[in-house]
Amino acid sequence: MTAHQHQGQSPSSAADQDARGVVIIGGGQAGLQAAASLRSEGFTGQVTIVAEEPGLPYQRPPLSKDYLKARPTDGTDGSGSTSASPLPLRGEAFFADHAITLRTGTAAVAVDRSSKTVSLADGTVLAYDSLIFATGARNRELPTPGIELPGIHGLRTLEDAEQLGRALDSAKNVVVVGAGFIGLEVATAALARGCQVTVLEFAPRPMGRALTPLLGDWFAGAHRHLGIDLRLNEGIASFEAGDDGRVAFAVSTTGDRYPADLVVAGVGVQPNDQLAAEAGLETANGIVVDAHLRTTDPDVFAVGDCANFPSVHFGGPFRLESVQNATDQARHVAGVILGADAPYADLPWFWSTQGPFRLQMANIVRADDETAVVGDPDPAHPKFSVFCFRDGILAAVESVNQPSDHLSARKILAAGLEITREEALSEGFSLREAYKERTQPAAVV
């Protein structure tokens, strides 16, 4: 699908100015959910999504997982479809059925808060009563010499994934820069496709910003067990070209040279907050919002990867990059626009699939959490959870191939149920049973 409008609305500026309602900038997970929730909660005004990318809003998580698996080389998605969005969040009919105008392939380029209008790159001017920034994030760029060489990829969009998928068809030696979630997902996908894979990470453990040190160390061993050459405390220094002008070596900060016919840089993202800053809204590592996800302008909100919000679970300003955060914040803002008054307090949770390891996290871990492993951490057939305690009470749970622990932990933590360290580590304890016991009404004797 190319740049166009998916549901009838006049493109003329005058007509658009007359029709106020909610304008959502960004057609990703958060933008789509905000529109869907406005409708499901009964909002009857205009809802318009402005989406810079072409095609229908799509899911990003599969891009570094199933989507990179071997597939036909004819440019299709393997299902015979040649759609530009093989992973749509909603089908095309959804937008017409819910009277949501989706303007794809055009960016919002300016917001004028005094006239309450948004200007688009194609010249359209949209008027709003409420405006939602759902602009997401973009990949951080490495300042490394040689970064411009052909054969070096990033991964954020479907287009990036298509290019990377094609490059993997012929790659032999893959170097991944950054042992974060996306880097390790790509590393395991490349390994499954028969490549030699080296991962360079300047920090002492993988996924260090998000996991407990205990689980980070476990993943380091587990990925090496799979056959990934994981180099910790070793950053990227430069890339060198071969005779064909393409990348041929990655040189690390220790001076080691790793053969690389394909490089993937997964070194984190930066929030897309420039447009909000230009509109005079406060930004600081994202668009700053209050507990209701409102910016410094009461008619303007920000949700998802681009929003820096006061997290009750983190205990301060926080920016989260996850599907849960994007969708829950979007639902919340739809409610606020319709008059709800509760602060945003949904429990954060996350997942990542790295080859045979299904990682799931309930709540944000803290560096000083007390940790205990429950289950079998053998990397050959792991099935375990890391219980994290604060002041002796269960506060977060990380799970590997243990989905029932994860689901129960989410329910327990979201409900604010207290489980002591002593109880959680007692013989025969189960999170599922503990949740049931605490929530089922006591039997009448």
CB of residue 231 to ligand FAD, shortest distance in Å: 22
Token pair of 100, please? 């949501």
CB of residue 329 to ligand FAD, shortest distance in Å: 8
The residue (of 252 and 352) whose beta carbon lies closer to ligand FAD is 352
Does position 272 bind ligand FAD by CB under 6 A? yes
Q: Which of 50, 158, 207, 210 is in the footprint of ligand FAD by CB under 6 A?
A: 50
236: Cβ contacts below 8 Å, ≥ 6 apart: 142, 144, 177, 200, 250, 251, 252, 253
Does position 351 bind ligand FAD by CB under 6 A? yes
Question: What residues are paired with 374 via a beta bridge?
Answer: 385
List b or e across 291-326, with b for residues whose CB sees 16 or more CB atoms inside 10 angstroms. Answer: ebbbbebeebbbbbbbbbbbbebeeeebbbbbbbbb
Q: Among the candidate windows 24-32, 202-210, 371-379, 411-419, which touches ligand FAD by CB under 6 A? A: 24-32
Does position 51 bind ligand FAD by CB under 6 A? yes
Does position 134 bind ligand FAD by CB under 6 A? yes
Question: What residues are paired with 420 via a beta bridge?
Answer: 393
CB 390 within 8 A of CB 366: yes
Q: Count residues near ligand FAD (CB under 6 A).
A: 36
Site for ligand FAD in 302-321 (CB under 6 A): 304-305, 321
Does position 130 bind ligand FAD by CB under 6 A? no
CB 265 within 8 A of CB 153: yes
Q: How many whole angstroms separate alpha carbon 307 and alpha carbon 132?
A: 11
Does position 210 bind ligand FAD by CB under 6 A? no
CB 116 within 8 A of CB 127: yes
Q: Among the candidate windows 19-27, 79-87, 332-340, 378-386, which touches ligand FAD by CB under 6 A? A: 19-27
Tally of CB atoms within 10 A around 442: 6
Does position 398 bind ligand FAD by CB under 6 A? no
122: Cβ contacts below 8 Å, ≥ 6 apart: 3, 11, 106
- Which residue, chain included where needed, has tokens 């990470």? 201
Sheet containing 300-302: order of strands: 100-104, 46-51, 21-25, 130-133, 300-302
Does position 369 bind ligand FAD by CB under 6 A? no
CB of residue 54 to ligand FAD, shortest distance in Å: 10
Is residue 395 classed as helix, strand or coil in its secondary structure?
strand
Q: Among the candidate windows 50-58, 123-131, 338-346, 367-375, which touches ligand FAD by CB under 6 A? A: 50-58
Question: What residues are paired with 302 via a beta bridge?
Answer: 133
| CA–CA–CA angle 75, 81, 36 (5° rounding) | 115
Q: Which of 29, 308, 311, 408 is in the footprint of ligand FAD by CB under 6 A?
A: 29
Token pair of 214, please? 């205990």
DSSP state of 205: S
Q: Among the candidate windows 20-28, 85-93, 278-286, 408-416, which touches ligand FAD by CB under 6 A? A: 20-28
The residue (of 181 and 387) whose beta carbon lies closer to ligand FAD is 181
Q: Which of 37, 64, 101, 408 is in the footprint of ligand FAD by CB under 6 A?
A: 64
Q: Among the candidate windows 48-56, 241-249, 278-286, 404-412, which touches ligand FAD by CB under 6 A? A: 48-56
Question: What residues are paired with 352 via a beta bridge?
Answer: 359
Does position 155 bind ligand FAD by CB under 6 A? yes
Q: Give me the residues that bind ligand FAD (CB under 6 A), please.
A: 25-31, 50-53, 60-61, 63-64, 107-108, 134-137, 155-156, 182, 272, 275, 304-305, 321-324, 326, 350-352
